[in-house]
Amino acid sequence: MCYRCRENAYSYREPSVQKFGISTALVTPFTDAGGLDIETLRGHIRSVLALGADGVTLFGTTGEGASVSDTEVSATLKALTPQDIGRNQITLAIYATSVGSGIAQIQNAANHGVTRILLPPPFYFKDVGDDAVFEWYDAVLAGCPVGTQVILYHIPQITMVSLSLNLIQRLHSVHPAKVFAVKDSAGAWEDTKALLDHSGVAVLVGDERQLAAAAKLGCAGSISGLANVYPDRLKEILKTAEPDPALDTLINAVVANPVTAAVKFVVSEHHGNPAWRRVRAPLTATPDTAFAAIRLAYAAMPTPAGG
C-alpha cells in the first residue's frame, strides 16, 4: 500500500523515541532433536552484545517465532539472566490472531520483565480493511499492561496485511504511550520515507540496505538479521548515515535465497558451526550449494571483532 497516497487524517507529532539503535533479530538455534537450544542462544546473545548490538529481538521472523511455542518462549525468558542481557534490551515478537491471545502473550512477557513487544497485525483473515485492523490493535493495546511498548510490525510480504500510514497515525493518536515505534520491513523506500516524514512515531527499518538513507531522515534504528554477525557495522551506518557497500553485497546475496535459512548460514559461517543451519518446520533446509554467493560475499567481509 502506497503511504504517499493516503490522506493524513492525523497531525504530525515528533516521535517520542529519538533513538532505538541496532537490535539483533536473533536467529533461533535448534538441537538435533528439534528442540530449542537455549544455552547456545544465551551464548549468541552475549556474543552480539559484545560486538556492539544495543539489544536483541527474540523470536521475530528471522527467529522463526511463529514456529516457537508459548511454553518455549517462557522457558527462554526464564533462562536469560542479567549476566546475559538486561530486560530493557529485549524486544519480544509475538504472533496472535485473537485479541485474547495477544493480550495473554504480552502479559506473559511482562511477567518475565519484558515490556517491549514487536506486534504484527492479525494475519489469518485477509482484505479486512484499516478499520478492522485498527479495532484489533486498539483492543490489544487497551488490554495490555501499563508500561508496554509496542512496535507495530509492517511486513506485508509475510502477513499479507498492510499497516497504512493513516492506521499508524491513528493508533499512535489513541495510544501515544503504548505505540512505541513501527518496524518497516516492506522494503519499499518511498513508503519508508513517508513514514519517516509523516508518521509521528519512531521508525525502525528492516531492510538494512535502507539504513543509511533512513538515518539521514532521522530513523530510530533497525531490527536487523545481519546484526547476528555485524551489529558494529550497522551501528556505524546509523551513526554516519553512510552506506556500507560490502555489507550491501552480502545482503543482496542473502535475500536472493529463503532469508531465514540464509541468515542462519551466515551465522554458521561466523561461528564455524553447521548446527546453526537447522530450521524448524514448516521451513525446510536449503541445500548448501544454494549459498555459494553468500559464502563468497561473507568471505570478502572483514573478520568481525571476536570472530
State the Cα–Cα distance between residues 55 and 86, nearest whole angstrom: 9
Query: Given pLDDT bands bounded at 50, 70 and 90, which one contains residue 285?
Result: confident
Q: For the chain, what is the domain count?
A: 1
> What confidence score (pLDDT) does residue 199 get?
86
Residue 108 CB burial class (10 angstroms; 0-12, 13-18, ≥19): middle
Give tens-digit pLDDT for 231-276. 999 999 999 999 999 999 999 999 999 999 999 999 999 999 999 9
Higher pLDDT, 200 or 49: 49
> What confidence score (pLDDT) does residue 288 get?
85
Q: Is residue 294 included in any domain, yes or no?
A: no
CATH number at residue 153: 3.20.20.70
Q: Is residue 89 included in any domain, yes or no?
A: yes
Nearest to 262 by CA among 275, 247, 277, 273: 277
Cβ(203)–Cβ(219) below 8 Å? yes
State the Cα–Cα distance between residues 95 and 104, nearest whole angstrom: 11
- What is the average pLDDT value for the chain, to the nearest integer? 92
> What confidence score (pLDDT) does residue 290 get?
87
> What confidence score (pLDDT) does residue 303 get?
64
Q: Is residue 54 included in any domain, yes or no?
A: yes
Q: Is residue 249 included in any domain, yes or no?
A: no
Q: Is residue 253 included in any domain, yes or no?
A: no
Query: Given pLDDT bands bounded at 50, 70 and 90, which one contains residue 305?
Result: very low
Helix (H, G, I), strand (E, B), or coil: what is residue 153? strand
Rg (CA), the chain: 18
Give tens-digit pLDDT for 192-232. 999 999 989 999 999 999 999 999 999 999 999 999 999 99
Q: Is residue 69 included in any domain, yes or no?
A: yes
> Is the pLDDT score of 164 beyond 90?
yes
For β-strands 202-205 and 21-25, DSSP reports them as: unpaired
Lowest mean pLDDT among 150-164, 205-219, 282-296: 282-296
Give tens-digit pLDDT for 121-145. 999 999 999 999 999 999 999 999 9
Q: Is residue 45 included in any domain, yes or no?
A: yes
Q: Which residue has the cell 496472535?
A: 96
Query: Given pLDDT bands bounded at 50, 70 and 90, which one contains residue 302?
Result: confident
> What confidence score (pLDDT) does residue 23 get?
98
Domain that holds residue 236: 20-240
Q: Is residue 276 included in any domain, yes or no?
A: no
Give tens-digit pLDDT for 1-47. 444 444 343 333 343 345 799 999 999 999 999 999 999 999 999 99
